[in-house]
Amino acid sequence: MKNEELVTEYLGVGTTSAVAEGSENIIVFKSFGLAVRVVKLCRFLRDTRQEYVLTKQLLRSGTSIGANVEEAIGGISRADFSAKISIAYKEARETSYWLKLLRATDYLTEDSFKSMFEDCEEVCRILRAILNTTRTK
């Protein structure tokens, strides 16, 4: 298998996630999809590049986003919801940082980085919009 095929397989490009596209809650869908791609990327970096330290940080922050979104949905108050969405937003920003660092240190190709980074930034924008809406009401 060629390196590009390996990257495509591990990053999940073109694959569907377990959360159905078009689901009622777009942030649930997007954060879950990003988490799946992060897990696959971390597996790729671990298996092919023997990179463990940055990968572990990326795995923690990248999978935490969706978990905090789910906790927010189950929140018992507006303040609880806002607090969990805020944490999810911070985790998304951290994920963005780790992706940039992996690119800067040549663990990710430019194409692999762009795809993951764009997904991450989209999640950040959605979470920021949710926060802004929640805090103005």
Q: What is the chain's percent helix, strand, coil content, to nearest 5?
A: 80, 0, 20
The model's pTM is 0.83
The third-level CATH classification (topology) of the domain covering 3-11+18-136 is de novo design (two linked rop proteins) (1.20.1440)
Q: What is the mean pLDDT of the chain?
A: 87
Which one is predicted more confidently, 4 or 53?
Answer: 53
For residues 59-87, average pLDDT: 96
Whether 45 and 79 have beta carbons less than 8 Å apart is answered as no
- Per-residue pLDDT band for 15 (boundaries 50, 70, 90) equals very low
Q: How far is CA 123 from CA 67, 98, 130, in A?
A: 13, 15, 11
Enumerate residues 6+ apart whose C-beta is below 8 A from 102. 45, 51, 54, 58, 108, 113
Average pLDDT over residues 76-81: 93
**Is 23 within 8 Å of 29 (Cβ atoms)?**
yes
Percent of the chain with pLDDT over 90: 80
